[in-house]
Amino acid sequence: MSGIGEASAILAVVDIGFKLAAALNTYVSSVIAAPDDISSLSSEIDSTLSHLRGLESLITKNEDTNAWDTDGLELAKRSIGDCEKVVRKLRNLLQKSSFREEGDRKSFVGSEIDVSKFERVMWPRLKPELEVCRGELQRIKLNILLATSSYTLGTV
């Protein structure tokens, strides 16, 4: 009977070993993909902020053209506020992962995200939160495009 106990103990160790190997494989895959994920997030930031600059220009022009109604102008301003919140959230996440903020800047560019600034151990933990931010940036960009379109229609 002692052989059965030893066999089940071996099976338990093997099972734990396979689970550990799978977890390590998942971790390594995630860390290896980090540069591509960071590059994609960086592009999303740059793209959204580029659209935001254009929106800011339209808000200034709207003082003369009145192309937006109250709702359109509110959407534009809300998009700016939402973007500021996401940028703050991203900065906080990056600072927690050894990112160092350089001065007190209100602007934010995607090049501030550099894979060498992340501790590789932190990446799997940060990735889901950064993906949420990326999704929020995509939503904001859609709102900016909607506001821009409504402005264009108001000038016709």
CA atoms within 13 A on the CB side of 71: 3
Q: Is the pLDDT reported for residue 71 higher than 50? A: yes
Q: Is the pLDDT reported for residue 60 higher than 70? A: yes
Helices of type H across the chain = 2-32, 34-65, 70-96, 123-155
Q: Is the pLDDT reported for residue 18 higher than 60? A: yes
Per-residue pLDDT, 134 = 93
Mean pLDDT of the chain: 78
- What CA–CA distances, in Å, run from 17 to 14, 33, 36? 5, 24, 30
Say whether pTM exceeds 0.85.
Answer: no
CA dist 44 and 113 (Å) reads 12
Per-residue pLDDT, 91 = 79
* Res. 16 pLDDT band, cuts 50 70 90: confident
User: Between residues 114 and 35, which one has the greater pLDDT?
Assistant: 35
Per-residue pLDDT, 130 = 87
Cα-based angle 55, 136, 127 (whole degrees, multiple of 5): 135
Percent of the chain residues past pLDDT 70, beyond the cut = 63
For 77-120, the pLDDT digits (tens) are 999 999 989 988 887 887 666 444 455 444 555 555 555 555 56
Per-residue pLDDT, 24 = 61
